[in-house]
Chains A and B, each alone.
Chain A
Amino acid sequence: MRYRKTARQDTGRTMSRRKFLGVTAGATAALSFGTFIRSGLGAARINVLTWSNTLNAMDDTLRAQAKQYTQEKGVEVVFEFVNQTDLPTKTAAAVESGSGDIVTTWSDGAHLHDKALINVGDIAEPLGKQLNGWTNIAKDICIVNKVWKAVPWGIIPIAVVYRTDWAKEAGYDKFPDTYDEMLVLCRKMKEKGHNSGFALGRAIGDANQSHYPMLWAHGGAECTADGKKVAINSPGTAKAVDYVRRLFKEGQSEDVFSWDDSSNNRAFLAGELACTGNAASIYWAEQKNAPQLREVTNHALWPKGPAGRFGYSTSMGLGIYRFSKFQKECKEFLTWLMQPKQYSAWIGVGEGQIAGLANFYENDPVWKKDAKLEVIREIPKYVRMPGYPGAPTRHAAESMVKYVIVNMFARACKGMSTPDTIKQAEAELKDIYAKA
């Protein structure tokens, strides 16, 4: 092409639009090719999707361990931390798009996504033998139709958190061991102006985790043991509803209907709450924000009811996606991560935030650090999932996210009769359980 001299070309240095586009396209192609080569042909790289802990030190420990593993074994491991509430969305996106390697199965996660996960029995069973056996809850959440779909990882233990000074004032040196006695304690504390509070609002954690145990401990259950039929309409459920109504009227305030998961933490830290259900997070927050309250705060197991002692805490496993290209490497990494050296270091910085799902970790040194946290080590033994006595199925998950059980109790506290509120819950549950 022939050009005559133009004014523009005289300036020399400017880049023409065409050249700019060409250079940009070239650079993009080169960069993406580089990434492609790295991901396709390079060494194994494992992505672990998990939740970001409120306690940063725990995540830092995992990051450091991943780095150490990479150095020792030459397999790159990257932890991807997302907000706990974003975990379902992120997992859904990963499953639908078929990308990722290891995923944290959050409570019922292994049951919800079992088709996307591989059998990890070949590492879960030897690990169980090595660590003195798995707890019931470990098997409940990780075994789907008799196949291990995740390696049990840990639980965020939910305990009763209470004020020792106000309990003492009401005549209790230690927290009562039965629900009936707990009612008396909460009533006495309220008479002195100190409310207790168990969330009855949209607190996906606290509201469910406080009220499912009360249902089970009084002999109620949402379905039969095979998980197929709705069984909420029972004398046990009626007992539980009556109990929760009394506990609300005699020991709590209207506030609980609007509570989200952080409300009870704030109220406790403000010195406005006598007793609630929570993780150890209130206790550490006090260290920084309310040291004077830390002296008078303690933890207790959920009390016993006529049908026994129960708890419900978020329990986690680690599953491997069937579409992961590095399944063998993932299994080796998980086995390494669960070894006492790594695992104890991780829960050690947590101070009660996480408890192990293997019996071995009931005697972990972390429980000797602080007498007020010691009781937490026993919690995994009593934990069950929504859907109990059946498995934590998709139906149970749906009734939980729709707050069917919590709302059944909330309606009773708002004045509905016991048979009516149970009937409404039964109708809602039948609707859910009728689905495939």
Chain B
Amino acid sequence: METVTLADAQPIRRQPWYRPFLKSEALTGYFLISPAVFLMLVLLAYPFVLAVWISLTDRVLGEPGKFVWFSNFYKLIQDPIFRNTVWNSFVYTFATVFLKMLLGVILALLLNQEIPYRNLIRGAILLPWIVPTSLSVLTWLWMFDSLFSVVNYILLGIGLISKKIQWLGSPSWAMVSVIIVNTWRGLPFFAVSFLAGLMTIPRELYEAAEVDGAKRFRQFWHITVPLLQPVIAVVVLFSTIWTFADFQIVYILTHGGPLNATQIFATLAYDVALVAGRIGEGSAISLFLFPALLVVIILMLKYLRRE
């Protein structure tokens, strides 16, 4: 009887035509990453370069438009509604990122304790992050409704307020509302990332500190904070970029109103580019912050490398 060994079970082939190319390691490397580079160029670089190009033209929908250098940007700086938008975007982004960071650290510390049903709670915390934003924001829209707001109903009921709050109707409350919703939505991402960071901090450090007589707060300040810093930096960086580019929450809740009090880059760009048809100017609005964000990203990444 013929014995078939594993080595025998290989097909005998001639060398394929591309074999010589694979000899050099560097060439092989480039060859293997080429699909990824191709995808990056097509899906990321092309739309970006196109957006930059469009922002330098006076293009309106369906017409090619002329090259106008930086005239769109110059006009934007003079537009009071746009200046207001810049201010709102900064308030919105910094307030929400700060709140998410603060509450995220607190939540992560709590979740890191020995509590019953810990894993279940950790999972449940993620819910706001998992539910599609547009759906959850619609629920918030109902909760902030001028007539039927359940939030007002409860606050009136327990006597905290005497007159209903115009959550989406008064300029300052509208900003508060969108900040609350964005914080609610983004908090799980912060908490879970921080929690992952906390879990990598070795227990021994805390034990040693305790032996040396350090109280909880000093342990937190001298062990937790420094070791969590890289995670915080990355999460804050991502969140800042996402929040500056946020659209859904504001669009659904206030559509930028009332009196442009919550108008941010993305909502204004949408109205100008797609509804009013001025895509040149719309692109300029959405690209306005790009240089500033680029500086933030470079600084943050440099800091991370040093770490």
* Chain A interface residues toward B at CB < 8 A: 1-7, 88-89, 91-92, 95-96, 112-113, 115-116, 200-202, 204, 254-260, 263, 266-267, 270, 272, 394, 397-398, 401-403, 407, 410-411, 414, 424, 427-428, 431, 435-436
Q: Does B148 have its Cβ within 8 Å of any Cβ on chain A?
A: yes
Are A116 and B278 neighbours in the complex by a CB distance under 8 Å?
no
Known: A255-B166, A394-B277, A431-B78. A436 touches B258 (CB 8 A): no
Known: A92-B273, A116-B61, A256-B146. 20 other contacts (CB 8 A): A3-B12, A4-B4, A4-B11, A6-B4, A7-B4, A92-B61, A92-B277, A92-B279, A95-B62, A201-B258, A254-B166, A257-B169, A258-B146, A258-B166, A266-B147, A267-B146, A397-B275, A402-B271, A427-B80, A431-B79
Q: Does B174 have its Cβ within 8 Å of any Cβ on chain A?
A: yes
Q: Does B1 have its Cβ within 8 Å of any Cβ on chain A?
A: no
Are B62 and A270 neighbours in the complex by a CB distance under 8 Å?
no
Known: A255-B169, A260-B255, A411-B259. A115 touches B13 (CB 8 A): no
Smallest CB separation, B252 vs chain A (Å) = 9
Q: Of A89, A202, A402, A410, which is in contact with the most chain B CB atoms at under 10 Å from its CB?
A: A202
Residues of B within 8 A of A91 (CB): 61
Chain A minimum-CB-distance residue to B59 = A96
How distant is the Cα of A340 from the Cα of B153 in the complex, in angstroms? 52
Are B167 and A113 neighbours in the complex by a CB distance under 8 Å?
no
How distant is the Cα of A5 from the Cα of B6 in the complex, in angstroms? 11
Smallest CB separation, A398 vs chain B (Å) = 4
How distant is the Cα of A410 from the Cα of B258 in the complex, in angstroms? 9
* Chain B interface residues toward A at CB < 8 A: 4, 8-13, 58, 60-63, 75, 78-81, 141, 144-148, 166-170, 174, 254-260, 271-279, 281
How distant is the Cα of A7 from the Cα of B8 in the complex, in angstroms? 11
Are A255 and B147 neighbours in the complex by a CB distance under 8 Å?
yes
Chain A minimum-CB-distance residue to B14 = A1
Are A202 and B145 neighbours in the complex by a CB distance under 8 Å?
no
How distant is the Cα of A2 from the Cα of B81 in the complex, in angstroms? 75
Which A-B residue pairs are the 7 nearest by beta carbons?
Answer: A258-B169, A257-B169, A202-B255, A202-B257, A258-B168, A255-B146, A398-B276
Smallest CB separation, A39 vs chain B (Å) = 23
Q: Could you list 11 A-B pairs, sorted by A, with CB under 8 Å?
A: A1-B12, A6-B4, A88-B275, A92-B277, A255-B166, A257-B169, A258-B166, A258-B254, A402-B81, A428-B81, A436-B58
Number of A-B contacts (CB under 8 A): 136
Are B256 and A201 neighbours in the complex by a CB distance under 8 Å?
no
A interface secondary structure, majority: helix
How distant is the Cα of A257 from the Cα of B174 in the complex, in angstroms? 10
Are B259 and A270 neighbours in the complex by a CB distance under 8 Å?
no
Residues of B within 8 A of A272 (CB): 147
Known: A263-B145, A270-B148. A88 touches B58 (CB 8 A): no
Are A407 and B259 neighbours in the complex by a CB distance under 8 Å?
yes
How distant is the Cα of A201 from the Cα of B169 in the complex, in angstroms? 7
Smallest CB separation, B91 vs chain A (Å) = 18
How distant is the Cα of A342 from the Cα of B189 in the complex, in angstroms? 55
Residues of A within 8 A of B271 (CB): 401-402
Are B75 and A201 neighbours in the complex by a CB distance under 8 Å?
no
Are A428 and B255 neighbours in the complex by a CB distance under 8 Å?
no
How distant is the Cα of A325 from the Cα of B244 in the complex, in angstroms? 42
Residues of B within 8 A of A407 (CB): 259-260
Q: Name the contact of B61 in the complex, choosing from A113, A258, A263 (C-beta under 8 A).
A: A113
Chain A minimum-CB-distance residue to B270 = A89
Q: Name the contact of A201 in the complex, choosing from B13, B147, B148, B168 (C-beta under 8 A).
A: B168
How distant is the Cα of A288 from the Cα of B174 in the complex, in angstroms? 33
Residues of B within 8 A of A4 (CB): 4, 8-9, 11-12
Smallest CB separation, B130 vs chain A (Å) = 24
Chain A minimum-CB-distance residue to B60 = A394
Chain A minimum-CB-distance residue to B257 = A202
Known: A200-B258, A202-B254, A255-B169. A435 touches B62 (CB 8 A): no
Are A92 and B274 neighbours in the complex by a CB distance under 8 Å?
yes
Are A258 and B278 neighbours in the complex by a CB distance under 8 Å?
no
Residues of A within 8 A of B145 (CB): 263, 266
Residues of A within 8 A of B260 (CB): 402-403, 407
Q: Of B4, B75, B81, B276, which is in contact with the most chain A CB atoms at under 10 Å from its CB?
A: B276
Are A259 and B259 neighbours in the complex by a CB distance under 8 Å?
no
Smallest CB separation, B71 vs chain A (Å) = 10
Are B9 and A7 neighbours in the complex by a CB distance under 8 Å?
yes
Are A6 and B61 neighbours in the complex by a CB distance under 8 Å?
no
Chain B minimum-CB-distance residue to A407 = B259
Smallest CB separation, A123 vs chain B (Å) = 22
Are B166 and A266 neighbours in the complex by a CB distance under 8 Å?
no
Chain B minimum-CB-distance residue to A7 = B9
Q: Of A116, A267, A398, which is in contact with the most chain B CB atoms at under 10 Å from its CB?
A: A398
How distant is the Cα of A267 from the Cα of B169 in the complex, in angstroms? 15
Chain B minimum-CB-distance residue to A436 = B58
Residues of A within 8 A of B144 (CB): 258
Are A6 and B9 neighbours in the complex by a CB distance under 8 Å?
yes
How distant is the Cα of A1 from the Cα of B170 in the complex, in angstroms? 78
Are B78 and A202 neighbours in the complex by a CB distance under 8 Å?
no
Residues of B within 8 A of A402 (CB): 81, 260, 271-272, 276
How distant is the Cα of A267 from the Cα of B13 in the complex, in angstroms? 78
Are B169 and A254 neighbours in the complex by a CB distance under 8 Å?
yes
Residues of B within 8 A of A258 (CB): 144, 146, 166-170, 174, 254, 258
